[in-house]
Structure 1
Amino acid sequence: MWIREPVFLIDIIPNINDIDELGHVNNAVYVRWLEQCARQHSNQLGLTLSVFQQLDRAMAVIRHEIDYLASSYSGNLLQMATWITDMDKLRVTRQFQLINQQTGQTILQAQTVFCCIQMTTGKPKRMPQKLVMCYEPALTR
């Protein structure tokens, strides 16, 4: 069961390369999936790499908080949801939930904080109005 109504979803099927020596999806793979989900959601909001390059801005991760609640395995049918739960002129906070679609079990819950940076310097910079206008409609509290 979703912790809130999904705003954006991706389907994931772990493959053999995602599995570690313990026989389940490696914890580092989940971080890759969080990034993939956030990137695809941003793309859907109109914030593609080319837009970020034109604005000389990008959203860089400054904090991941992940609760691993269950394991997943090769071939599981998973779905990851993301929500933007907070934002200001510098940061965006996303919440994530990963569910095993076969069992309904939540595999993980996570929160990631992103900071807007100037791509050419790597330093924090306020979000241009274009970023704010794209992210605001997706904000859920």
Structure 2
Amino acid sequence: MQGTALPYEYQIDVADDDIDFMGHVNNASYLKWVQDAVISHWRGLAPPEAVAQHLWVALKHEITYRRPAFLEDDVVATVLLEKVHGARVFYETIIKRGTDVLAEVKSSWCCLDAETLRPARIAQNVIDHFFAKIDDQP
């Protein structure tokens, strides 16, 4: 048993080019934000040697849009590593403005060896960096 996934918060800067013809954030920007947030999560929690040895490719994003986002919004993505299965990793990312959920994203990724560009399993001692130890839980 791994324990509880450590939430990772990623601040999103809404840029002028994120805004579409209707005056709110274009759906394509959410994909960019999720990719940036997941990669930042990996780089922020994994040991430096693991970061240097692995690359990530998104396989699937399933996005449920709840509310529009706008240029001046303070937007944060909270990333959780849900499951690791071989070279595949499954994430949940919640994008919020304050307490309002803007989008919920389920995504799957493939870990690649940085040298061979072939799928690579992640060692358990690396995976453990993404979860609170069961002993540490209240």
Q: 2:82 pairs with 69, 80, 85, which one?
A: 85
Superposition pairs of residues 87-106 of structure 1, within 5 angstroms: 87-101=84-98, 104-106=99-101
Which has the higher relative contact order, 1 or 2, with Cα contacts under 8 A spaced 6 or more apart? 2
Map residues 1-141 of structure 1 onto 2, 5 A cutoff: 7-47=7-47, 51-53=50-52, 55=53, 57-101=54-98, 104-127=99-122, 129=123, 132-139=124-131
| Structure with the higher fraction of residues in strand conformation | 2
AA partner of residue 39 (structure 1): I
TM-score normalised by the chain length of structure 2? 0.80
3-state DSSP class of the match of 1:125? coil
- Quote the Cα distance in structure 1 between the aligned partners of 2:92 and 2:113: 24
Change (3 A) 1:52 1:92: same
Q: CA deviation digits over 1:57-76, x for unaligned, max 9? A: 32211111110111000010
* 2:93–2:106 Cα contact (<8 Å) kept: yes
Q: Over aligned residues, Cα RMSD in angstroms? A: 2.4
Unaligned runs of 5+ in 1: none
Aligned residue-pair number: 129
CA shift for structure 1 position 91 = 1.2
